[in-house]
């Protein structure tokens, strides 16, 4: 099964994808994590991607698409894959369909998460991640048991560079809304879009959304 996670930064895509992956055995691929790994290791891909990510812009197709294709062809995707962070543009969505069709596959489900903008900004600014095991925390909503320390592996949690200023967050949200609106419509027209609101105002957060999706997949 091929599942796509859609939604602006801070809507909880990683949380929802992680719970679905854990309960179904479908591998999760976060393009953001792959970029950050390459940036840390200063690979050619990472050096190119950092130019765009640090300024709040989308990484171009010529960098992103080959990377995703490599994962689709790897053993990690033999039981399906949950793509978190791809596609983000209509051209990427169309190219993904071409790539999958060549392999006798298709996108089965697109999960679109929505959250009020003011909540997104606050979540991102208070988000912390573990650079070692990739666990995600929020110092207000979901803090670690010991301040500054990951519950899972004991490493020191950090704030991502691209999460640290409201200006960068707003720019990313504006780019997402402009570039991704046609993608949402594209999958809606295909009849495979499932939109879920993740928000404290309706008392429905990522874990509950993910658990409901897992029930429907079983």
Q: Which stretches does DSSP call E strand in the chain?
A: 2-7, 27-30, 81-84, 109-114, 127-129, 136-138, 193-197
Selecting among 36, 123, 127, 134, the annotated active-site residue is: 127
Q: Which helix (H) or strand (E) holds 183?
A: helix 166-190
123 tagged catalytic: no
117 tagged catalytic: no
204 tagged catalytic: no
Selecting among 13, 36, 123, 134, the annotated active-site residue is: 13
Helix axes of 90-102 and 166-190: crossing angle, nearest 10 degrees: 50
103 tagged catalytic: no
Assign 3-class secondary structure to 48-91: HHHHHHCCCCCCCHHHHHHHHHHHHCCHHHCCCEEEECCCCCHH
Q: Which candidate, 148, 118, 116, places its Cα nearest to that of 135? A: 148
Selecting among 123, 128, 134, 172, the annotated active-site residue is: 172
Selecting among 37, 95, 117, 160, the annotated active-site residue is: 160
Residue 112 dihedral angles phi and psi, to the nearest 5°:
-110, 115
State the catalytic residues.
13, 88, 127, 160, 172
């Amino acid at each position: 099964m091929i599942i796509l996670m859609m939604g602006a930064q801070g809507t909880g895509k990683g949380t929802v994808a992680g719970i679905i992956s854990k309960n179904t055995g479908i591998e999760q691929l976060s393009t953001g994590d792959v970029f950050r790994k390459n940036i840390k290791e200063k690979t050619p891909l990472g050096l190119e991607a950092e130019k765009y990510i640090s300024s709040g812009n989308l990484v171009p197709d010529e960098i992103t698409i080959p990377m995703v294709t490599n994962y689709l062809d790897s053993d990690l995707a033999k039981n399906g894959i949950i793509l978190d962070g791809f596609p983000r543009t209509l051209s990427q969505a169309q190219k993904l369909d071409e790539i999958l069709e060549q392999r006798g596959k298709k996108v089965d489900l697109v999960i679109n998460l929505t959250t009020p903008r003011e909540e997104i900004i606050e979540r991102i600014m208070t988000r912390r991640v573990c650079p070692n095991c990739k666990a995600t925390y929020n110092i207000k909503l979901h803090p670690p048991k010991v301040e500054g320390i990951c519950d899972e592996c004991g490493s020191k949690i950090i704030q991502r560079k691209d999460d640290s200023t409201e200006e960068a967050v707003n720019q990313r949200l504006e780019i997402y809304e402009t570039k991704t609106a046609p993608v949402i419509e594209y999958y809606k027209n295909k009849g495979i879009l499932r939109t879920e609101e993740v928000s404290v105002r309706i008392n429905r957060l990522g874990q509950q959304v993910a658990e409901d999706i897992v029930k429907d997949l079983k």
